[in-house]
């Protein structure tokens, strides 16, 4: 398995929870109420699994390895991905603040939650598409076998020593609980396939 296959598999889990967040936002729009606990669970998932675990591997290891192979950060593909990671974090912060305000009865906060949830969904779906079909194939082509092996070992060490051995599976279980709650199909965490190169800044 290539290191990018690990990241593609994580994308499938992230997409599953994006589907749950979309159902949550749609329900909030139609019923003018928010499932506070589910919203907090989704935010926790995105902060820990999507950002700390998944984006953490990319930012600390994949992107620097690509830059070492000559891919520029400024105006290049990794710079675009980093910028979008920061945009996503901003939306998560806004959603989190809105959920706390909704819990106190602030109706304007409900609209803020919906707005940032939908913006986050749109951002991350496009971001994942760029990585799956553009960035990751670039990396696969640039890395030799020793590069791939080194990156695989680093990813395993990150999961074991920095994230925690049981954390990954705990958040996959949370993703499945949310999917069952919101009627979203569970996805199998299999590697994605390459495709046409959409614009990702290179």
Q: Which residues of 28-43 are buried (b: 16+ CB within 10 A; e: fewer)?
A: beeeeebbeebbebbb
pTM equals 0.92
Question: Is CATH 1.20.120.520 the right assignment for the domain spanning 3-182?
Answer: yes
Which residues are within 8 A (CB) of 108 and not within 5 positions of it... i.e. 6 or more apart?
101
pLDDT computed for residue 164 by the predictor:
86
Distance of CA 179 to the CA centre of its chain: 16
Averaged pLDDT, 156-162: 91
pLDDT greater than 70 at residue 141: yes
In this predicted structure, what is the pLDDT of residue 52? 94
Measured over all CA atoms, what is the biggest interatomic distance in the chain, rounded to whole angstroms? Answer: 56
Q: Does residue 188 register a pLDDT over 90?
A: no
Torsion angles phi and psi, residue 104, rounded to 5: -95, 0
- Please report the pLDDT score of residue 196 as a whole number: 40
Other Cβ atoms less than 10 A from the Cβ of 142: the count is 14
Q: What angle do CA 75, 200, 162 make, to 5 degrees?
A: 90
CA–CA distance from 201 to each of 28, 76, 134, 139 (Å)?
Answer: 35, 5, 10, 14
Q: Using alpha carbons, select from 13, 61, 69 the residue that is nearest to residue 186.
A: 13
Residue 197 has pLDDT above 70, yes or no: no
């Amino acid at each position: 398995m290539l290191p990018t296959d690990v990241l593609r598999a994580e994308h499938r889990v992230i997409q599953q929870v994006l589907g749950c967040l979309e159902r949550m936002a749609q329900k909030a729009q139609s019923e003018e109420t928010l499932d506070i606990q589910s919203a907090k669970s989704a935010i926790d998932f995105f902060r820990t699994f999507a950002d700390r675990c998944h984006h953490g591997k990319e930012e600390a290891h994949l992107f620097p390895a690509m830059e070492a192979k000559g891919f520029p950060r400024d105006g290049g593909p990794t710079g675009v991905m980093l910028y979008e990671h920061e945009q996503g974090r901003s939306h998560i912060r806004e959603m989190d603040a809105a959920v706390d305000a909704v819990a106190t009865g602030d109706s304007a906060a409900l609209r803020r939650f919906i707005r940032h949830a939908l913006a986050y969904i749109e951002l991350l779906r496009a971001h994942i598409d760029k990585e799956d079909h553009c960035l990751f194939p670039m990396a696969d082509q640039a890395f030799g076998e020793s590069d791939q092996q080194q990156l695989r070992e680093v990813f395993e060490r990150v999961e074991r020593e920095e994230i925690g051995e049981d954390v990954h599976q705990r958040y996959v279980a949370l993703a499945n609980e949310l999917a069952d709650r919101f009627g979203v199909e569970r996805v199998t965490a299999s590697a994605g396939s390459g495709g046409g190169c959409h614009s990702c800044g290179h």
